Amino acid sequence: MDWVQMDRCRAAASLPLIKEQNGPSESNAALEFAVTTLQVENILVIGHSSCAGIEALMNMQEDVESGNFTHKWVANGKLAKQRTKAATAHLSFDQQCKFCEKESINQSLLNLLSYPWIEDRVRRELLSLHGGHYNFSNCSFEKWTLDFKECNVKEEEEEESSYVVKEQEFWC
């Protein structure tokens, strides 16, 4: 991975949106510039443990619309929350949040594929999408790669996309 290039284009605390949701223009521009102009070969979406944004998402009422910026920001992870609730209903709230931290990263990786210049380069194997999770409590880092060939990416929002990861690595 070209770490010099990585620092040229980044958005802190950003959940990549689906293209049609008209996310912040600076995030869209940064993604487009990195992929089409710099021709980066890797995009790494990183999350972390004890994420207050994920906790806010998991506490958010399903049927409440809000105009505040925080609500709009964490609402980007709504599908990750739904998947988490479905998979972990039997677990404690803290365990659900831990699961959702990684699920939101994977959802962000799928969201990146809604940008045609990203999807095209991933399909042609010129770009790889990676997820990463940093655990503050034990100073470990987990990294994985989205397996595009095995993913089932849906064009319609009514249909749910699925993902497969490969090349998982763990450092502590």
Order of all β-strands in the sheet with 140-146: 42-48, 128-135, 140-146, 165-171
Report the binding-site residues. 48, 51
Tokens in use for 108? 């962000």
Task: Quote the CA–CA distance of 3 and 58 in Å, as a whole number.
Answer: 33
Rounded alpha-carbon distances, angstroms, from residue 27 to 14, 30, 44, 94: 8, 5, 14, 30
Facing residues of 130 across strands?
44, 145
Report the binding-site residues for Zn(2+). 48, 51
Task: Quote the CA–CA distance of 71 and 50 in Å, as a whole number.
Answer: 18
